[in-house]
Amino acid sequence: MQKKYTTFLLGILLSVFGVQNLFAQTQTNPDYDLEYRKWRITLFPPLSTNGVEAPAYTARYSINLLWGYHGGLDGAEIGGLVNYNKHYAHGFQLAGLANATGGDMLGLNIAGLANIAHNDISGVQGAGLFNYAGNELQGIQAAGLLNFSKESSSGIQFAGIGNSSTGDLEGLQFSGVFNTSWEDISGVQGSGAFNMARGSVEGLQVTGGLNFAGEEISGLQVAGLGNIAMDDIEGLMVSSAFNFAGKDGSGLLISGGINYANNLEGVVISGGANIARELEGLQFAGILNASKKATGLQIGLINYAEEFEGVPIGMISLYGNGRKNFDVRYSDGGFTDIGITLGTYRVYNTALFGYNTLLDRDVYRLGLAVGLEKNISDSFERLSSETLFVNQEISYLHHFEEDFSRKTNAIWSYKFLVGNRFASGFSMYAGPSFNMQVSRVSEASDYTWYSLWSPEWKGRQYRFWAGFTVGIRLFKQKKMKPFREVIHNWDNGKPDWEIEW
């Protein structure tokens, strides 16, 4: 039996070395000074048709029964374990473990574990663990763990854990955990945890965790946690927790928690807070809009700025250059309300608390009014006065009896109030109101003295009527210029706006 094995091994050696003349060279590769042979067969180095001189040869067709070590490849190569080419591999490679080269790898390369190139990788590469390039990675790469390049990556990369590059990351990258770049990221990136670049991030990035850029972020970013840029954020940013910019943020920023930047501009929406040194545009916050300076439309439970120009809507809109008034008013049905009136001198918000003094039971109400103050001449052109004004106001008031209840029991009102400022800190006003009540409380009908129309629909009672409101307002107030004086200085058809909000 041992004699048979010895004879078999000698046969292999003789056949391997004996067939070298059948695979004789026909040309050379001038780039690497390699000899060319159309075919080569290798058991393992140096048992090959090129023997110990295999690193000096390239071939069109290469078969490595276990593993092969050659100079280059210009065609197709199949290896049981490893295909290794010292200078380059151009073409098709299939290996049970790895395809590797000391130079470039170009073409279609499939390996059970890894594709490794000391220089560039380009084409289509598939590996069970990773694709590694010492320089650039280009084309389509799929790996069970990692696609990595020491310079730039571009094209389409899929990885079970991550795509990483010490240069730029560009193109379409998907990974189960991360996409990272030491320079810029651009294109379309999707990851389960984070997309991160020391430089800029640009394009479409989607992650379950974090999009991070050491410089700018621009484009469309969707993050389960947050988008962070140490420089500017620009474009459409959507996150469940926060959008953060070390400098400016602009575009459409949507966050379930906080939008923060030195300057925020555009449409800024958050479930929690919008915070910036300057806010400009449309700001919507579930709790707080806060800035040193703000312009535009602000909607939030609390709006705060040292200086504000625009339209505020909120329970509390506190501005350093705005109004801070206290109101007491009485309306039809017997309700007396007290209110804190904040906002600008043009547009104000009033937080109201009221009690019905005519009913034989305790009925309370809480609500919010948003109003616009104008000079009297804006509504009545023939009247001219610096002290007469008009307030047009829309209010919502929720009513409850004895103890607070969230049961539907509300009155919506539009009020047209005419008033006079007797001094900078005191005014009186009165006017009609047009009201709609929506309630599921049967006793709510006696909140009003009468009704013009009282339908019922889906368990709700509706009442419509015209009423009145009278009240006084305390603390600093300003006269409002007529709007026709606000818009002036038409110069070559271009208006100069000087609206005092």
Strand 178-181 and strand 194-197: the pairing is parallel
Hey, where are the domains in the chain? Answer: 326-487
Q: Which backbone phi and psi does 358 adopt, to 5 degrees?
A: -100, -20
Alpha-carbon distance of 390 to 367, in angstroms, equals 21
- For 123: left if phi > 0, alpha if psi spans -120 to 50, otherwise beta; the answer is left
Per-residue confidence (pLDDT) for residue 442, from 0 to 100: 87
> Going along 49-184, which residue ranges are E strands?
57-64, 67-79, 82-95, 98-101, 104-111, 114-117, 121-127, 130-133, 137-143, 146-149, 153-159, 162-165, 169-175, 178-181
Residue with tokens 């490794």: 116
Per-residue confidence (pLDDT) for residue 23, from 0 to 100: 36
pTM of the complete model: 0.78
Alpha-carbon distance of 342 to 339, in angstroms, equals 10
Per-residue pLDDT of the chain (501 residues; tens, 9 = 90+): 444 444 443 344 333 333 333 334 444 555 678 888 899 999 989 888 888 888 899 999 999 999 999 999 999 999 999 999 999 999 999 999 999 999 999 999 999 999 999 999 999 999 999 999 999 999 999 999 999 999 999 999 999 999 999 999 999 999 999 999 999 999 999 999 999 999 999 999 999 999 999 999 999 999 999 999 999 999 999 999 999 999 999 999 999 999 999 999 999 999 999 999 999 999 999 999 999 999 999 999 999 999 999 999 998 999 999 999 999 999 999 999 999 999 999 999 999 999 999 999 999 999 999 999 999 999 998 898 989 999 999 999 999 998 999 999 999 999 999 999 998 899 999 999 999 999 999 899 999 999 999 999 999 999 999 999 999 999 999 988 887 776 654 344 544 433 444
Per-residue confidence (pLDDT) for residue 233, from 0 to 100: 92
Neighbours of 480 (CB within 10 A): 22
**Nearest of 330, 355, 332, 329 to residue 341 by alpha carbon:** 329
Strand 104-111 and strand 121-127: the pairing is parallel
**The total number of residues written for the chain in this structure:** 501
Q: Which backbone phi and psi does 145 adopt, to 5 degrees?
A: -120, -60
Residues 6+ apart with CB under 8 A from 380: none
**Nearest of 2, 11, 10, 69 to residue 40 by alpha carbon:** 69
Per-residue confidence (pLDDT) for residue 12, from 0 to 100: 40
SS3 sequence, 161-189?
CEEEECCCEEEEEEECCEEEECCCEEEEE
The CATH T-level fold of domain 326-487 is: Porin (2.40.160)
Per-residue confidence (pLDDT) for residue 10, from 0 to 100: 36
Where b means 16+ CB within 10 Å and e means fewer, 390-411 reads bbbbebebbbbbeeeeeeebbb
Distance of CA 246 to the CA centre of its chain: 15
Neighbours of 85 (CB within 10 A): 30
Residue with tokens 């005092």: 500
Per-residue confidence (pLDDT) for residue 31, from 0 to 100: 67
